[in-house]
């Protein structure tokens, strides 16, 4: 069910490519709203907006904003007639949008991708949380500052890439060479139909050295073994293997999460890699110190029956993480509160960079 409200914009908050944060007055009071400018235009103070307040009213974390559905008195202009692009994303929802797919016939890259079938060993790092992306990139850059890194966003969480301030900051800082949105996700510099064609575009069109694959912000979990959106990460690792890439699995690790299922190596990683991923991949095990490091190595050992466990030193990675141009945060904790998830992700990036250098 959708909760609908009308509101009036009273102030403009932070803005970046494709997104604008707003302060909005509604009958219930003042709150935060979010406008995707390429879909609904750029609301200004004093303008009336139609809002979807479902997640906001429920007090959700990542998705806890009212979303602008329309600015009824100031509709954006129609697209230029004859503009190429026939891929419909967020299909058959009220805000479905048409984009130019890198792999469709109208794309200049179609001839490149028509018969493309091989990643040539390109490393692909899979992570189940969006918050791992900047840490992976930091690990890659620590080994290869000149590496061209692409981020491929799947459609397991947020569909608009513009929802991610993290990615906007990484692109602005030059840490990401390109962004790719696949499936129902949209808004990347490259749009693709599938994970497979997105990976091929990263290799053959964007000339990427390393690709990081993760869902967008808004991971969905239910506290059950299989009811979490990150389980789809296995499909990306399968695609990497089928296309001749080097699949690297980043572990979700935490020393501060007191939920038993997420302390040490998260049960999400153990399920996604230990049960759902059916091809052997490189599972990067960060060489963390002390009893906690011993626990992580012990927990990861169960994955060795199917995968290659790759121990990676974490020395020097904290300095690399501290250079991140965007804030590092996962489950409400930053680098100082719990460095372990970021060190684990950076270790996966370090390993991928070493593979790319061979």
Q: Domains for the chain: give ranges and CATH numbers.
A: 4-70 (2.40.50.140), 110-356 (3.40.50)
Q: In this predicted structure, what is the pLDDT of residue 258?
A: 83
CB count in 10 Å sphere of residue 244: 13
Burial (Cβ within 10 Å: 0-12, 13-18, ≥19) of residue 268 = buried
- The packing angle between helices 133-143 and 165-172, to 10°, is 20
Distance CA 347, CA 314 (A): 6
| Adjacent-strand bridge partners of 81 | none
Model confidence at 61, pLDDT cuts 50, 70, 90, reads low
Q: Identify the H or E element spanning 329.
A: strand 329-330
Q: Residue 64: pLDDT above 80?
A: no
Q: In this predicted structure, what is the pLDDT of residue 357?
A: 85
Say if CB 296 and CB 264 are below 8 A apart. Answer: yes
Q: In this predicted structure, what is the pLDDT of residue 240?
A: 98
Show the tokens assigned to 349. 């990036």
79: nearest Cα among 99, 63, 60, 62: 99
124: nearest Cα among 248, 265, 35: 248
- Mean pLDDT of the residues in the chain: 94
To the nearest 10°, the Cα dihedral for 33, 168, 312, 358? 150
Say if CB 250 and CB 109 are below 8 A apart. Answer: no
Helices (H), 210-263: 233-242
Q: In this predicted structure, what is the pLDDT of residue 82?
A: 67
195: nearest Cα among 251, 168, 156: 156
Mean pLDDT value of segment 174-188: 98
Residue the block writes with tokens 């506290």 = 223
Q: What is the pLDDT of residues 187-217, one digit of tens each?
A: 999 999 999 999 999 999 999 999 999 999 9
Q: What is the pLDDT of residues 287-310, one digit of tens each?
A: 999 999 999 999 999 999 999 999
Helices (H), 123-262: 133-143, 165-172, 195-204, 233-242
Mean pLDDT value of segment 34-61: 89
Q: In this predicted structure, what is the pLDDT of residue 60?
A: 65
Three-state secondary-structure class, residue 152: strand
Question: What is the separation, in whole angstroms, between the first and last Cα of the chain?
Answer: 52
Q: Residue 53: pLDDT above 80?
A: yes
């Amino acid at each position: 069910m959708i909760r609908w409200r009308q509101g009036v914009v009273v102030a403009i908050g932070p803005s970046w490519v494709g997104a604008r944060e707003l302060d909005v007055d509604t009958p219930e009071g003042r709150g935060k709203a979010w406008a995707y400018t390429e879909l609904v235009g750029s609301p200004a103070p004093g303008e009336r907006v139609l809002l979807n307040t479902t997640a906001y009213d429920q007090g959700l974390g990542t998705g806890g904003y009212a979303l602008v559905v329309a600015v009824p008195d100031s509709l954006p202009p129609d697209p230029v007639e004859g503009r190429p692009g026939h891929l419909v994303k967020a299909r058959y929802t009220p805000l479905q949008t048409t984009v130019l797919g890198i792999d469709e016939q109208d794309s200049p890259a179609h001839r490149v991708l028509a018969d493309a079938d091989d990643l040539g060993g390109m490393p692909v790092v899979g992570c189940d949380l969006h918050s791992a992306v900047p840490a992976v990139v930091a690990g890659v850059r620590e080994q290869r500052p000149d590496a061209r890194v692409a981020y491929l966003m799947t459609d397991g969480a947020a569909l608009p890439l513009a929802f991610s301030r993290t990615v906007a900051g990484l692109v602005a800082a030059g840490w990401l060479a390109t962004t790719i949105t696949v499936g129902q996700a949209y808004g990347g510099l490259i749009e693709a139909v599938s994970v497979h064609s997105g990976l091929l575009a990263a290799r053959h069109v964007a000339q990427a050295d390393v690709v990081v694959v993760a869902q967008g912000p808004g991971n969905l979990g239910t506290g059950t073994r299989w009811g979490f959106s990150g389980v789809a990460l296995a499909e990306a690792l399968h695609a990497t293997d089928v296309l001749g890439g080097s699949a690297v699995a980043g572990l979700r690790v935490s020393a501060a999460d007191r939920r038993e299922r997420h302390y040490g190596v998260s049960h999400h990683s153990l399920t996604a890699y230990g049960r759902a991923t059916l091809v052997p991949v490189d599972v990067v095990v960060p060489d963390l110190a002390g009893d906690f490091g011993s626990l992580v190595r012990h927990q990861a050992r169960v994955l060795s029956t199917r995968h290659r466990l790759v121990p990676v030193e974490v020395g020097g990675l904290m300095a690399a993480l501290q250079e991140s141009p965007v804030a590092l945060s996962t489950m409400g904790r930053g680098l100082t509160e719990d460095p372990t998830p970021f060190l684990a992700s950076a270790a996966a990036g370090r390993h991928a960079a070493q593979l790319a250098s061979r």
